[in-house]
């Protein structure tokens, strides 16, 4: 079924391949679509029956999620009053150019919980693709919407959706810094930490329960591991000098960190339980920004050993350093996709810092952004989107982009300067 | 209490994740969810701050040996981590003071301008702090009294996106603890 749909989309895309498709930005969700050869499923997300009384407009959240993924194009609903039990007149939707319909309802249960139900229809095949219901606390209505989007995404693309995941980021407002945990669209942010001193480099533990980060609260950079559900913090690296750039091993047992305790900025491995760090590699240059590959066997890092900052790779046991980036004189902040296929990083081009993507197997590189102050890329757990920090009209902002760079969205949520995004794992 | 609240909010998130059921089934009435009703209508974005941190300022003026900021700040050229000769007198004056206060710990805080990545700038700021520590050590200051740390680009001395501002931010500050 999915294969059939895909074939149809390929046909659709090849038909419009020669055309320059430029769908106008949808201001409401700040999703920008550009470029040629886009393969997008035209989909109708009908307003959910009963959602007007709910604070979270389920269908709008679902549609925004699907649009942000770059895989879908919205088609307005041609029939009102649909819910998960209606039989939509598919011919009407087919004529409107829709390939799929999501319809559903929102109701409040006697105990105050919200019941979100939906059904997905394949308009082309005239087939019911199933549905679900989520009875959730009213505060979690947005989460239910993200779960709906995950279901639709997986049914229609064959890949797991990553909408019901979390992103950590940092805001700066005056001299106040806050570390937030938000939905994958940047909304519903909850403050995990507030501090009068900078917070940088948050990194989710593989189980999604803890954040490691660098805090300057004691007038020097030290590394904490912070349990987000209890708020309990552990100081795990406070050695003489600077302690920074924490990165989790895939098994969650080890952190790679940058320490200057023995002189210079050097890479060490540290048990997540704390204790004595052991040196990963020794050099007379700057070595920093370590990040494990998903199999845990290698560590990417940044070093200026060749005279300018470049990305290198080393075995997790410290053996076999090899250079990874060769073009440009400033390549930093590597992030490896969870499927191991891609390396996102920031490269200076002229005077601009731009998000780049390397195919790990072939080494071929493309530029993903048209902004000039990009920082801190981080992959969605399904490896289909990258979140990164940049500047838009002089303010710090968070953006997501598809891996072809054609669909970008600005994450809403906190006002003020917003930075240091890190996309968390799938939550079960 | 605050952490309990956050724990409830996050549990609600997790429970929410787990409560999907096939549409054909009646919605599961999960007894555990009732305890979460306390968070109804709460907006997690306001007032939830586990681990809020009180400001601490260790750098009050008379703890700085009567030295003004200018007498404790070494500026660096673009992309340079070498202490320029014009700062030798400043280094010597501070070295004398540190040596004559053997119980006193001193932080050397390295900084960069605002261009480039946060972590890489942290490493560059460390190089500047290390350079000043090296210059002090040459003059006989025991390394046990010194700690080189970096703020990278996080604490610019002045705001601005021009070379004038950048030049004032590429610095290392000697701070008496």
Question: Residue B158 is encoded by which pair of tokens?
Answer: 């002045």
pLDDT tens for each residue of A185-238: 999 999 999 999 999 999 999 999 999 999 999 999 999 999 999 999 999 999
| Segments in chain A below pLDDT 70 | 1-30, 35-37, 413-414
ipTM, 2 decimals?
0.90
DSSP 8-state class, residue B106: E
For residue A262, the distance in angstroms to the closest alpha carbon of chain B comes to 11
A81 in Cβ contact with A138 (< 8 Å)? no
Sequence spans of domains, chain B: 2-39, 62-176
- Please answer yes or no on whether A265 and B39 come within 8 Å at the CB atom: no
CA pair distance A77, A81, nearest whole angstrom:
10
List, as ranges, residues 98-117 from B with C-beta within 8 Å of A. 107, 109, 115-117
Centroid of chain to Cα B59:
14
Helix (H) or strand (E) holding B149: strand B146-152
Question: Residue A287 is encoded by which pair of tokens?
Answer: 């070595």
Pick the most confident of A146-160, B3-17, B50-64. A146-160
Phi and psi based region of residue A201 (left: phi greater than 0; alpha: psi -120 to 50; beta: remaining): left
B36 backbone dihedrals φ, ψ, rounded to 5° = -85, -5
- Please answer yes or no on whether B117 and A230 come within 8 Å at the CB atom: no
For residue B110, the distance in angstroms to the closest alpha carbon of chain A comes to 10
Residues of A in contact with B6 (CB under 8 A): 190, 228-231
A388 in Cβ contact with A165 (< 8 Å)? no
List, as ranges, residues 41-60 from B with C-beta within 8 Å of A. 41-45, 48-53, 55-56, 58-59
Instruction: Look up the CATH architecture of domain B62-176.
Output: 2-Layer Sandwich (3.30)
Give the pLDDT of residue A321.
97
* Cα radius of gyration (chain A): 23
Residue B119 has pLDDT above 80, yes or no: yes
Contacts across the A-B interface (CB distance below 8 Å):
221
Which residues contact residue A213 at a Cβ distance below 8 angstroms, ignoring those fewer than 6 apart? A179, A193, A199, A200, A201, A202, A203, A223, A224, A226, A246
With 0-12 / 13-18 / 19 or more C-beta atoms within 10 angstroms meaning exposed / middle / buried, residue A250 is middle
CA dist list (Å): B102 to A378, B22, B64, B98: 46, 72, 15, 7
Determine how many CB atoms are found less than 10 A away from the CB of residue A14.
Answer: 11
pLDDT tens for each residue of B58-71: 444 458 988 989 99
CA pair distance A32, A409, nearest whole angstrom:
6
CA pair distance A384, A341, nearest whole angstrom:
11
Name all domains of chain A by residue range, CATH numbers in brackets.
Answer: 2-157 (3.40.50.10070), 166-423 (2.120.10.30)
């Amino acid at each position: 079924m999915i294969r059939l749909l895909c074939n149809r989309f390929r046909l659709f895309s090849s038909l419009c391949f020669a055309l320059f498709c430029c769908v106008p930005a949808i201001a409401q969700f700040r999703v920008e679509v550009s470029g040629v050869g886009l393969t997008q499923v035209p989909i109708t997300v009908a307003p959910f029956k009963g959602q007007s009384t709910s604070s979270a407009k389920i269908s709008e959240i679902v549609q925004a999620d699907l649009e942000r993924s770059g895989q879908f194009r919205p088609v307005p609903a041609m029939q009102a009053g649909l819910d998960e039990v209606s039989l939509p007149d598919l011919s009407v939707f087919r004529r409107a150019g829709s390939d799929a319909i999501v319809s559903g309802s929102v109701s409040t249960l006697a105990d105050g919980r919200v019941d979100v139900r939906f059904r997905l229809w394949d308009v082309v095949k005239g087939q019911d693709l199933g549905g679900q219901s989520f009875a959730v606390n009213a505060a979690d209505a947005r989460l239910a919407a993200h779960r709906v989007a995950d279901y639709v995404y997986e049914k229609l693309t064959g890949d797991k959706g990553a909408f019901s995941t979390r992103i950590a980021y940092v805001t700066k407002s005056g001299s106040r810094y806050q570390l937030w945990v938000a939905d994958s669209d940047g909304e519903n942010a909850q403050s995990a930490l507030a501090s009068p001193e900078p917070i940088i480099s948050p990194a989710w533990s593989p189980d999604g329960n803890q954040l490691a980060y660098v805090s300057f609260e004691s007038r020097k950079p030290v590394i904490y591991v912070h349990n987000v559900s209890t708020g309990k913090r552990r100081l795990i690296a406070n050695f003489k000098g600077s302690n920074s750039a924490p990165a989790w091993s895939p098994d969650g047992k080890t952190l790679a960190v940058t320490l200057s305790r023995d002189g210079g900025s050097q890479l060490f491995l540290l048990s997540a339980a704390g204790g004595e760090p052991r040196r990963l590699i020794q050099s007379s240059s700057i070595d920093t920004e370590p990040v494990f590959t998903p199999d845990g066997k290698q560590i990417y890092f940044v070093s200026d050993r060749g005279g300018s900052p470049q990305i290198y790779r080393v075995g997790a046991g410290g053996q076999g350093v090899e250079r990874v980036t060769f073009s440009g004189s400033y390549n930093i902040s590597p992030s490896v996709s969870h499927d191991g296929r891609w390396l996102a990083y920031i490269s200076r081009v002229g005077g601009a810092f731009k998000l780049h993507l390397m195919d790990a197997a072939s080494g071929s590189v493309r530029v993903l952004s048209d902004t000039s102050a990009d920082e801190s890329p981080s992959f969605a757990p399904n490896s289909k989107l990258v979140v990164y920090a940049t500047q838009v009209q002089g303010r710090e902002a968070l953006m997501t982009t598809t891996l072809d760079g054609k669909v970008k969205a600005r994450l809403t949520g906190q006002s003020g300067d917003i930075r240091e995004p890190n996309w968390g794992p799938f939550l079960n | 209490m605050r952490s309990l609240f956050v724990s409830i909010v996050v549990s609600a998130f997790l429970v929410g994740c787990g409560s999907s059921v096939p549409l054909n089934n009646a919605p599961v009435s999960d007894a555990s969810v009732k305890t979460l009703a306390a968070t109804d209508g709460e907006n997690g974005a306001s007032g939830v701050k586990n681990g809020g941190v009180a400001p601490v300022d260790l750098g009050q003026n008379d703890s700085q040996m009567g030295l003004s900021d200018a007498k404790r700040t070494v500026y660096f050229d673009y992309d340079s981590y070498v202490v320029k000769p014009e700062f030798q007198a400043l280094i010597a004056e501070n070295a004398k003071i540190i040596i004559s206060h053997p119980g006193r710990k001193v932080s050397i805080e390295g900084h960069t301008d605002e261009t480039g990545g946060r972590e890489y700038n942290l490493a560059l700021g460390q190089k500047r702090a290390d350079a000043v520590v090296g210059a002090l050590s040459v003059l006989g200051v025991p390394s046990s009294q010194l700690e080189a740390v970096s703020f990278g680009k996080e604490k610019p001395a002045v705001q601005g996106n021009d070379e004038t501002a950048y030049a004032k931010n590429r610095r290392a500050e000697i701070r008496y603890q």
